[in-house]
Structure 1
């Protein structure tokens, strides 16, 4: 079997007027994704999802005009060989760096989809896992900056749905960040796992003022307080309140970025995104490295059911898997355009799909409903 063509298809959804969600990286104005289709000479087709990286047109062009001819003719089941070729020609030498990691991630997911279909096995079984129950938290673009009373109301809705863990957004300002966390903890009680995410918006001075309040509220983790490249601030913040674990990884790419996190010993919760870090092939390497040091993986999830389903399969095959980030965004039709990928149970858990490969029936007719809108999906000023 050989790869005959790789195609990236950018998709967008513009949020209704006045329905933005404000978080640390800005206010959402649209949702973007890139579906990657890999075709073979034996009729098997796989689908993956590449993160748009705030520039969907650039990532799409890289897949269609550079990686497509680079990988044509290779065995689609040779995921290690495909990864090595892209690494050699893009990641490690004169390539587009993080952009290449995003593009490769979508291709790699599609290749694993083909492998599962060829073996007539759901991906979690191909990876050596089982269809086990996976704890989930209410995440995605939700629970953003808003008055404490409406934030509490939104959080309670997710608990009624079955979630036992939620993620709050920080990075607004010190006073309001603290007030929101305190209000939600007081309203929901001690048994709900409250996770927090500053979306890289803090300074070290912000961290010094807010982290003690997070410790008092017994939050499960503090995610991405700083830029992914600001390793020094991560090291310093880790000592401010040891009972508040620092989480990161959504904006770290490939095993080499995670090796730096391991060496620094500051980030103890890892969150690779399968559509960003290099796909399942690379995420398995990252997971193995983490497992050797007792570090759990709580993957970040991207926009569509492709990433969500792949993440469920991935978690079901790990010995150090943690939470599944369930997208509960109110304005993300991209999530369900191939059908509902996961259902939260009364136990707060979800399960991976059972169909072969990633487990989704992709109908490309729906793509026409979401024409691409280039440019970033957030406005910084709000």
Structure 2
């Protein structure tokens, strides 16, 4: 599915002019169903490609097969398609398709036993902290004011554009923060190491919760360590890690304080749940990354509720019907509450989406 974005979403590496989503539904031989979502933000034409990957590559490997659990299916698919991912030069898209299937299987299992997913995963607290993300540099102060009125107490600004403009936005937002509010920034890999080292002292003058991806995510660990030693502000990354080995390295090194898996980009729930637990055991902060449709956001919320801790759920501040129709619980003083609906709790909303004008126009 794809809907226009009334306000383009800006990042340092490109602009989203529409909001794509790849949703999928699985059904077992008893008629139980589950919903999943595949990451497809950039470039937006990748949504159609991932849809074809599901139809022609991943689904044929699933149809008619029996698995003991979603975990066993995830492990089998990762093993089965490891060589193809290398051969095709597409480890990301293939991992994203597998992640979407995994989310759907977990939703199906939880719905089958009649419990919310977070409780099936061992969670006991339905309340989770959240923050408003994706705040564009244009009209940033007004966006923060709107998000505050919607119940948020934490905000994240996109930076990595014009340095003077970035600093002006940060100064205006931090000056207006209320006592219990938190503010973070996301550079989206905008800077070289030298540029980051020159910018970090200026950012440290503000009270920032974290600085996200100041340099390219795949830079050597010694460069990340150099940044960590150069600032007192916590560093965050993780949305571009796409293997258990990537996360093990990120968790074991002291450079990162906040680690942000995106469960629709890699791992689904089977891969990310143990990673989230490892993050917390290591004394770091698990804050799931997410900027897509409502199914993936719901799954991220359930995993966060399952593991607990002081992490926050990332909620895109930009309008997106493919999120809002499916999963948009009210935020009150920076927290939202998951309902006791079985699974991800989005089955009825998904039916409403399919019946809407958007669904009738976009479903294929």
Give the TM-score normalised by the residue count of structure 1.
Answer: 0.87
**For 2:226 and 2:312, how far apart are their aligned partners in 1?**
26
SS in 2 for 1:166: strand
**For 1:228 and 1:50, how far apart are their aligned partners in 2?**
21
Match of 2:94 in 1: 100
Q: For the aligned residues, what is the CA RMSD? A: 2.0
**For 2:180 and 2:225, how far apart are their aligned partners in 1?**
30
Could you give the per-residue CA deviations for residues 243-301 of structure 1, whole angstroms, max 9, x where no partner exists?
Answer: 21110111111311111212432122111111112101101121122122111110011
Correspondence 1:1-40 to 2 at 5 A:
11-16=1-6, 19-40=7-28
Shift of the alpha carbon at 1:93? Answer: 5.6
Could you give the per-residue CA deviations for residues 123-176 of structure 1, whole angstroms, max 9, x where no partner exists?
Answer: 01100102432111111x3x2122xxx322221222222211100111102222
Aligned partner of 2:159 among 151, 170, 178: 170
**For 2:85 and 2:156, how far apart are their aligned partners in 1?**
38
Aligned length: 352
Q: Answer yes or no: is the 8 Å Cα contact 2:291–2:315 preserved in 1.
A: no
Shift of the alpha carbon at 1:202? Answer: 1.4
Q: Which structure shows the higher helix fraction? A: 2
After superposition, the Cα gap between the structure-2 partners of 1:351 and 1:75, relative to the gap in structure 1 and judged at 3 Å, is: farther
Aligned partner of 1:145 among 90, 113, 137: 137
- 5+ unaligned residues in a row in structure 2: which ranges? none
Q: Answer yes or no: is the 8 Å Cα contact 2:98–2:268 preserved in 1.
A: yes
SS in 2 for 1:256: helix
Aligned partner of 1:130 among 124, 132, 136: 124
SS in 2 for 1:216: coil
- 5+ unaligned residues in a row in structure 1: which ranges? 1-10, 374-382
Q: Answer yes or no: is the 8 Å Cα contact 2:196–2:215 preserved in 1.
A: no
Within the alignment, does 1:65 sit opposite 2:65 as a pair?
Answer: no
**For 1:82 and 1:21, how far apart are their aligned partners in 2?**
35
Q: Answer yes or no: is the 8 Å Cα contact 1:102–1:275 preserved in 2.
A: yes
After superposition, the Cα gap between the structure-2 partners of 1:268 and 1:234, relative to the gap in structure 1 and judged at 3 Å, is: same
**For 1:77 and 1:355, how far apart are their aligned partners in 2?**
24
After superposition, the Cα gap between the structure-2 partners of 1:224 and 1:48, relative to the gap in structure 1 and judged at 3 Å, is: same
Within the alignment, does 1:354 sit opposite 2:304 as a pair?
Answer: no
Q: Answer yes or no: is the 8 Å Cα contact 1:219–1:244 preserved in 2.
A: yes
Q: Answer yes or no: is the 8 Å Cα contact 1:77–1:115 preserved in 2.
A: no
Aligned partner of 2:329 among 331, 342, 345: 342
SS in 1 for 2:130: strand
Could you give the per-residue CA deviations for residues 5-54 of structure 1, whole angstroms, max 9, x where no partner exists?
Answer: xxxxxx111234xx323221222211111101112111111110110153
Correspondence 1:95-244 to 2 at 5 A:
95=86, 96-139=90-133, 141=134, 143-146=135-138, 150-189=139-178, 191-232=180-221, 233-241=223-231, 243-244=232-233
Task: Could you list the structure 1 runs, at least 4 aligned residues long, displaced by more than 6 angstroms after superposition.
Answer: none
Match of 1:8 in 2: none
Shift of the alpha carbon at 1:184? Answer: 0.9
SS in 2 for 1:262: helix
Within the alignment, does 1:277 sit opposite 2:271 as a pair?
Answer: no
